[in-house]
Structures are given as structure tokens and as C-alpha cells.
A and B are shown apart, each in its own frame.
Chain A
Amino acid sequence: MLGLALAMLLPVAFGLAVNEINPVLDFALSIEIALIFALVLIRICFIDKSLSWMHGMIVVSMSWIVAMLISAIPLWLSGHWVSYLDTCFDTMSGFATTGLTLVQDLDHISFTHNLWRHLIMFMGGQGIVIVALSFFVKGLSGAFTMYVGEARDEKIMPNVVNTSRFIWAVSLVYLFLGTLALGAVGILNGMSVFTSFFHGACIFMAAFDTGGFAPQSQNILYYHSLPYEIVTIVIMILGAINFKLHFHIWMGNRREIIKNIETRALFISIVITFLITAAGLSQVYPKAMILFRKGFYQLISGHTGTGYQTIYASQFLNEWSNLALVGVICAMALGGAACSTTGAIKMIRIGIIFKAIIQDIKRIILPERAIVVEKFHHIREVFLEDKLVRPALIITLTYLILYGTGAIIGMLCGYPFLNSLFESTSAAANVGLSCGITQIGMPALLKITYIVQMWAGRLEFMSVLTLFGFIVAAFKGK
């Protein structure tokens, strides 16, 4: 909460610079509330002991809920959200880098509130506990449990604090370069210098963190610009790549891009899902350029988990064929790389499962005495073992259950199967593409379902399931 209060100083400073008084007041109020709660919690809950695995997991899952509730306050005070639940929906969507939104009249929102929406995504993409690890943690006690709790199990540096700082360094360097690129394109598009760079920074934060919020209600369609779409595609792909891979590329090991199982799986998966989508869109967009800007753009946006759209939500259902929708749903369900800002099943798990299937087929085909050894390259050569395959399969299965559960609840609320599956997958995989279900009028049950899906999907279940287990145990008195 102290971290959030500090983060809110940025929109306050920006709001004062652009002379937006009431939005600044909204943030001042929110900072005060955050500080009061932080002081009370420090007084009540402070302990010196190092965190166990269970406590680390619970701290992470609870931190995300508290962050959602506190960060929603300034947005709710703006009057652009119908209810506090809608605001919480948007802040969880922001932190989980989903991009589904229930905001009203976005075209008249203040710069200050708009900056906060995108800043939430930037913090959520790196992991809000990683923010705390990077800037507030001196010792390493319990840091690793929280790091893992935020769905990151790969260390780039010798310890997680340095790893967190590296992730922030990478993100800030790209933020500078990405804002410059988008700002320049914005100016060429005919926008004013201030708006170009403001939109550039916002769009970068949401694209690199595979979020999907945009400063205007039309999302990327607002710009009507091919160069803008190409730059955002590059940023989305950069965001979908493993930070460990970024580290090795920065260190000059460029061959890792070609050899790595994740980049290979991502490439193959993009090609296959695009072929499916393109087959379904051949009648809708007969021209290659239109197919690229409408078909490929939504597909890559879905695959990287960003959710940027260059079409209106209802066009998915009214114009796209079922085959094309299935292609996009598959892309959304698969996601990007592990230890990146994307959600969903992730490429490393798909690669491992695929290798395991090949290994099993070889075991059946080859003589019984033959020793079948399967390897894959992920930074180094790794032997495929059951202890790698098992968690990959369990997490994949859990994601599929999460997608299905959301779809069933959607159908219970009266939406057709394909629409429900599309929106549920988008929420649980932290994508943000919408076929039109996500709107203010949707049932509160579905809003809460999507909030839980976004939260559980982003944290990859472990910390969320630990919290549920802890609550059940507390009720049983164990």
C-alpha cells in the first residue's frame, strides 16, 4: 500500500503539470486512504519472522486484491465508472494486464486518470510484488516465495531482488525507446507533440506489458495508421518474450532467439493459428493488406495477450466466421513466453508437452531396451524429465478448466457458447480482446467471475489456490 501511495505521486505530479485540479484531489484522497490503511496494517500485522512458502503465497494473492481495491479509489472518484465493482473490474484488468474495460465516456477522461490506468498496467506487468522487491526489500528473506507467487519461477540474476531490478531496467529502457517511436509516429500521423508522446507512453506501457488499455475509446482504431499498428505489433512481441531471453540478447547471445524452445513454439503457434484465422476470414477480408491489418493484428494481439483491437467488439461476432474466432481463441489460450508479461498457458509448457508426446511415441515405436532421451533448448540444453512434464500438464489443465468454467458461467448468464468461451478465455488468459460481452450491463456475477479469472490467471493459480486452502482450513479450525 505504501508502494501504491508512492506510485500515485506520479499522476499527482502530472496532474499538477497539466493543471487538472479535481483529478489531483482524487489522487490526494486515495493516497491518504492508502497511507492510513498501511499504517494500521503495519501496527497490527508486522512480524520479524521470515516468510514460509504458504505465507509468501498468501501475501502475494492478498496484495493483488488490496492493490485492486486501493487503486480503484481515484478512478471511481472520477465519475467515469458506474459502480465501485466496475472500477475494481478495471483495476484488476489493469494489474493483470488484461485490458477488458467498463469505463464510461473514455474520450472525456482526464490525462491524470488516463495515466494511472496505464501505469497500473505497467506495474502489474512486471508484478506488483516485484515492484516492492525491487525498491523496498533490503534482505532476501521470503523474497523468493513472493517472486514465485507472482508466476515467475526463473531467476535471471543470482537472486530475485537483482532479477526484479533487471526486469525493471529492461522495461524502463524499452519504455523510453517505445515512447520515442510511438511519439514520432503520432506526430507523423498529424497529432500534436504533447498528445503524441502522452499517447505514446500510455500505449507503450499497455503494449509492452501486454495489457490492452488505450487512451481513447476506439482503442488502436482511433489512430487509423498502419505505422502505428506495426510499431505496436513489435512492442507486443517484445513484451511476449521471456525476460531471460532479453537478458541473453542484451549480452550479445543472439543465436538464443533461434535455438530457444519458447521462440520456436511461439513462431509455429502464430503460423498455425494465423492460417486457421486467415482461412476463416478469406471471404470477410479478401485483400492481403486488410487481412494483415484486421486478421493478423487481432491474432497477434490475442496471442501475445495484449488485446489491442482495430475492429469494434461486435464485428467479431457479426462479421468473423466461427473458424476465425476459433483461431483467435486458440491463440489467446496459448499465450506468450514464461517470465514475460503475458498470461495464459505459455509457450514453454506447450513445448514441453509436445516434446513429452514425441518421447512417448518414440518409446512405443522403438524396442523396449532402447533408452529414449529427449532434450530441449531453453538458455541451456535441458533433459526432458517427468518432474518438468507434470507441472506443465497440471498448469495447462488448470487453465483449460478456468477457461471452461468462465464459459459455463457466461452461458448460465444467457450468452451463446462461442461468445462465452471467447470472453472467458480472454479474461482468464489476460488478453483483453472482447466480442461485446464485457459492458456495463453484463450481470454482476459475470463481472466477479472475470475478476477472479483475471486474478487467478495472472498469478498462475498457486498463490490463489493457497489462499483458498488457507481460508477453508481457517473455517475448519485447522
Chain B
Amino acid sequence: MTLKSDIQNKRSKTRIKFERDLMRTAVCFISFVSVFLILDIDCRAQSVSSAELIENAKKYDGKFVLYQGEAIGELMKRGEFAWININDGKNAIGIWAPLGLIADISLLGSYKQKGDLVEVSGTFNRSCPEHGGDLDIHAREIRKVSKGRQIPERINARKSKFALILVFILGLVWILSLLGKR
């Protein structure tokens, strides 16, 4: 009996220990996943501004950065890659990307259109050895955050009225100057 109860006790102790270990492992795993998720969310939020990159170029040199802004100008294809300039409102920075990454970008900022808003993740170079020392980002991933749009041009009514008034004044001055000559 004693032997049997001893074995049962040992088994229950082992089970309790096993359950405790399992709980610990689960807590550790959940904590690890939570920390990882928090860190991941934090990484995603760390979008760096152009001013920050340019002012602290040495600090970010060779680092992986996340940069967001409007695609402006034109896509300049160079073989299997292309240059695209992204403006975050302060400055524009050149992005060197494989053609496959920029296939989604359809609208580029100009007078008549607002360009696509994109998020670029890639390696920042203070003085890129591959591109003659340009300050640039070599893209690893480009995500379109929001689509650009055409900017409809409406004739400014105030300017039109003012132009008509000036035509009238100009005519008057011209007639007066002609009369003055006589």
C-alpha cells in the first residue's frame, strides 16, 4: 500500500511539476510573442522623416529605415531598376528600387496630380558608393499607403474678374495717353 501510495504521490508530484513547467513555458512563450509583437509594432511606427535622415545622415548610414512620402516627378527606369523620388513635405529623397517593387505606383506628384503616398523600407546611404555618393535609400519593400489623385483645375473667378477690370483700366490709360499726345 505504502509503495503504491508513494508511486501515486511521485506521479502526482511529477504531473504537478510538468503542469507547472508547461505553465511557465506557456507564460514565457506568450511573453516572448507579446514582446516580439510590441517590438514589431514599434518598428513599423518608426518612420523617419527626410529632415531627420538628412540632418543625421551619419547616424542612419547603412541602417534599415522606414520612410514615407509622396512619389513625385517621374519614374526613371535604369535597366532592371528605377529611381523614384519620394517627398515627405520637407525634402525629396531618391529611392533606388527593382522594377518589381514599383509596379503599383501609378500616379506621381506634379501640378495636375497628387502622387501616390508610399512607404519605403530599405537601406539608407549617406553617400552611396554605388551611385556616386548620392544620399539615397535602396528599397527592399515599397507599400502603397494611399492612391494619388488628379487635381481638377477650376478657373479662379476672382482672378478672372480682376483681369477684366484691368483690361478696362488698360484701355482707359491707353486712350488717355493717345489723347495726351494730340
Contact = CB atoms under 8 A, between A and B. Distances in A.
Residue with the greatest number of chain B CB neighbours at <10 A, chosen from A107, A111, A222:
A107
A28 interface: yes
A462 interface: no
A28 B170 CA distance: 12
Interface stretch (B19-27, B28-36, B156-164): B156-164
Interface in B85-128: 85, 87, 91-92, 94, 96, 109-111, 126-127
- Chain A binding surface SS class: helix
A20 interface: yes
A109 B156 contact: no
Contact of A22 (B82, B87, B133, B155): B155
A294 B133 contact: yes
A26 B111 CA distance: 15
Contact of A28 (B76, B92, B163, B173): B163
A223 B109 contact: no
Given A25-B160, A43-B177, A293-B133, A218 B155 contact: no
Interface in A205-230: 216-218, 221-224, 226
Given A25-B156, A191-B74, A224-B83, A289 B132 contact: yes
Contacts of A221: 94, 134-135
Query: Size band of the B side of the interface?
Result: 35 or more
Interface stretch (A167-175, A261-269, A313-321, A352-360): A313-321
A35 interface: yes
A218 B54 CA distance: 13
A217 B132 contact: no
Contacts, number: 127
B110 A107 contact: yes
B92 A20 contact: no
Contacts of A26: 159
Interface of A: 20-22, 25-26, 28-29, 32-33, 35-36, 39-40, 42-43, 77, 107-111, 189-192, 195, 216-218, 221-224, 226, 284-285, 287, 289-290, 292-294, 310-312, 314-315, 318-319
Q: Which 3 pairs across A and B sit closest by C-beta, in order of nearness?
A: A290-B133, A190-B76, A32-B166
Contact of B127 (A21, A284, A292): A284
A87 B135 CA distance: 29
B111 A108 contact: yes
- Chain B binding surface SS class: mixed
15 contacts: A21-B155, A22-B155, A25-B155, A32-B167, A107-B72, A107-B110, A190-B74, A216-B92, A222-B73, A223-B76, A226-B132, A293-B132, A312-B54, A315-B57, A319-B126
Given A20-B153, A191-B74, A107 B87 contact: yes
Nearest to A293: B132
B173 A40 contact: yes
A44 to B, nearest CB: 10
Given A20-B111, A20-B153, A192 B74 contact: yes
A319 B134 CA distance: 13
Nearest to B70: A107
A209 to B, nearest CB: 24
A221 B91 CA distance: 12
Interface in B20-75: 54-55, 57-58, 72-75
A190 B76 CA distance: 4
A339 B101 CA distance: 51
